[in-house]
Each structure stands twice: as C-alpha cells, then as structure tokens.
Amino acid sequence: MDKLDPLLISYIEKFILKSSEQLEMNTGSNQLELPFIDVNIIKRTERTYRVVGVLTLSTSQPDSSDEHPDEELIKLFSSKRKITLDDREPKTMRWLELGWVIREVRFKKDGKTMDSMQYRRGYRFYKYESEKALQRKYAVEELLQTLRESAATFGDSSEIPYATHRKRGLHALTCLISEIAGQMHSELGTSSHFPARWSVSKRMNFLHFIVAFIRLAFSRANFDWKEIGANYYREIGGSKAFDSYKGEFLAQLEEWAQCPADSLGMTSLGKITPLYFSGKITGQFSAYRFGPVHALTDLAIVEEEYTTEATTIWLVENRAILTRMAAEQGFLQETNSIVLCADGHLRSSHRLCIRQLVKNGTPEQIIIWSDYDPDGLIIAKELYLAVDHHRVAFKWITHDFKVMTSWEDYEEYMKAFLKQHRAEQEQVLGGAEDWKKWIAL
C-alpha cells in the first residue's frame, strides 16, 4: 500500500470503506504503469479472508488547482454519494483517468460475482470541493467583516435632512446588518432573516446589495437602481451586478426596512403597490368611510399613520371576498368591520398598514380568510405573523364554514386538507348571515 498516496488512502478509508473493511493492492505486475490501478477491498479475521469489492483508481493524481471537474459531473454529485456511469462513454474513462471519480465494484458473498458497480467522488474531486468550501468560508468571513465596518460608519457623514419614515427604514436596515455581522460564518446559511430557500451565495450577494443600498441612501437624497451596483463595485458591469435578483432583492429589502424602497430615496421604479380595503380608516391627511372599495398606496402608508374604530378586522387573500363584503348593504357598518385584501401576496406596505391599524385601533378580533391551496396557507401564516404579538382574538375560516381559533390547529387542518383537495375563496364565499355568525362565535 505504500505506493499509493497516503492522503488518497486516508480519503478512501474515511469515505468509501465500510466498517471492518481494509484495502489490499492487487499483486498484478506493472499495475502502476497503467492509467488505472485496481485495489481490493477485503475483510480479514484470524480465520477468514474475503474480497468484498474492488476499487479502480487513477495512477496519476494531477494537482493543478486551476482545473475543475466538468459541470455535468458536479451536478451528478450535487445530491448523491454514488452515481451510475456508462463505462463505454469516453468521458467516463477520462474522469476516471484524471482522478475525478473512483469506480467501486461490490461482490456477492462468494467474492467473485459482481453485485453492484457505481462511481464515487475521487480524491481529486474531494480536494476540489474542500478548497471551494474553504473559499466560501473565507468569503463569508470577509463579508461579515465588511458588514461590521460598514455598520459602524453608516450615516456618520450624512448631511441630508431625512423624513421620519426614511430614518426609521434605514435604522431598521442598519440594525439588521449589525445583528448579522455579529454572527458566525456558519450561521449565515440558516439565519431566519432570509428566505429559507436562498443559498448562502445568494444571501451573501443580497448583503452586498444592502450595504450598497444603505451607503447611497445615506449619501444621496435620491438615486436609481443602476447606481447601487455601479457605486459599490466601481468597475465595468458593476451597474448590472444585482440585476438577476432585482425583484427578489427589492422585496426583501422592503421586508427588512418595513417601508417601500421609494421612501428610502430610490427613484425610477415606476411601481405603486396598492392595498385594497373597505371600511372606515382615518389618517393624518385622509379619511375613508363605509361604502365602496378603496385603495391605499404603499407611499401613502409610509407617510401616514392610520387608525380604525373597527372591532373586527378581516384579512382576506383575494378581491372576490373584499368586493362581495363591500357590496353587502350595511354589513360592515352593522358589524363595525373593516376588510383588507392582500391580493395574492402580503407586501411590506400591507404588513405595515395592518400593524398600524391594530396598534392604533382597538380591534377585538382578527379573522383571517385565504384560499385553500398551498399559497393560501403561506399567506394565512404571513397575515398571522404580521400581528401575532398583539393581544387580540384570532379566527381562521375553513372550507366548510367552520371557525378555528388556533394557528396550530388551522395549519394542521390545512395540511391534511391539501393532501386531497384544493379550493379558492370564491368557491366558499358564503353570505352576510354566515359572516355574522363567524364574528359572533
């Protein structure tokens, strides 16, 4: 065994051999002069000796750090420890000869009949992945250090007179950056501050975006999308650095800041996000009465501080419920209700307005009513989490017109329901008598 690289042997023993298995090089002559070498996997006791498999390895182990395995091979190994390849394919032999893969043959109990043949990561592939992991670790640590340094200086030299909502939004972003900067590099991938589906690299890219955004927001009264990347990277193509994730990054920024990007100084978005509702709402600069369906813009929500005298707040997913309730003569007045529509997705401005109404008003109950599909369950949870810390009764409406008063119970009910059914709110609209009954329960 001394003719094989000790690091290769150590890798095989750690990641490929099973308990009580050993390596034994075949005694065939001139094996090391061939492009491959066969190494037996054996089990040995005082009385028995059995060959349980054989590994085919490359006799040369190139150590060029600037080379990397084919993308196809990387994808094959992305979620598997063992893969199946066609020995007749030239690329299979090439991967084997270059040390990217190891062929593993396992025998039946007779030690001769082949039981399985699969390919494992070669030691060279393992080194490549280890080096990449180390590079990612250093990149995360470098980013966290940048965050710490940036968070300590944000706003130090700013002479721009900010509106209250802009100060509040930038303060929220800065606080989150400071919190994340204090974490260990290993925590970034599991941090609850990001969407769970985001990879570590995407989270890192977003943090660079946030730092770039905050720096501009503190130094300029107004700026546009292209300036964020251009001023941060200061190189050709920098203005397009964040283009791939523009929609997602802006949505997450607004979630962190709890206000629209427009209100933080960003211009040229050309987008206004409405919150549709019906009922009585009062703000500093506007007031809405019972009657038709109204709409508040995201910019108005940030500038205003809304309140309501409603004792029942309905939070619904789509417009069908909203328009139906608004059209029911006298229903909202008689029940002292207001109904707000998330319209398929809970935006940051929606969340802010809902929190304003609950905090500034004196609601007795919040009734959450969403579609009976996977997205509806997500929206129901988002609506609940927006105000779950307030002391108020919560209710959820089931597809068969029952009322649940616990999120845990409703979530369990929905997961069971979704295994066999799907339904939209329009299919279970009900009528005023049903709605009044739910309020009274």
Domain boundaries, the chain: 6-121, 136-264, 274-440
CB burial readout 82-104, b (16+ within 10 A) else e: eeebeeeeeebeebbebbbbbbb
pLDDT of residue 349: 84
> pLDDT for 414-440, tens place per residue?
999 998 887 665 566 789 999 999 999
More confident call, 33 vs 19: 19
Taking the complete model, does pTM exceed 0.75, yes or no? no
Mean pLDDT, residues 251-258: 90
In the chain, pLDDT over 90 holds for what percent of residues?
53
pLDDT at 122 exceeding the cut of 60: yes
Confidence of residue 152 (pLDDT cuts 50, 70, 90): confident
337-341 and 312-316 as β-strands: parallel, antiparallel, unpaired? parallel
In order, the DSSP letters of 278-329 are ES-EE-SS-EE-SSS-EEEEHHHHHH---B---SEEEEESSHHHHHHHHHST
Q: pLDDT at residue 120 above 90? A: yes
Residue 273 banded pLDDT, cuts 50, 70, 90: confident
Residues 320-378 pLDDT 10s: 899 999 999 999 999 999 999 998 778 888 988 999 999 999 999 999 999 999 999 99
301 Cβ contact list (under 8 Å, min separation 6): 275, 349, 352, 353, 356
Residues sharing a CB contact under 8 Å with residue 172, sequence separation 6 or more, in sequence order: 256, 257, 258
Instruction: Work out the average pLDDT over 28-48.
Output: 78
Burial of 212 (0-12, 13-18, 19+ CB in 10 A): buried
Model confidence at 1, pLDDT cuts 50, 70, 90, reads: very low
Q: Tell me the CA distances in angstroms from 395 to 316, 359, 382, 404, one per residue in order.
A: 12, 18, 14, 6
Residue 71 has φ and ψ, to the nearest 5°, of -60, -35
Residue 2 has pLDDT above 70, yes or no: no
Pair of tokens at residue 163: 């509106």
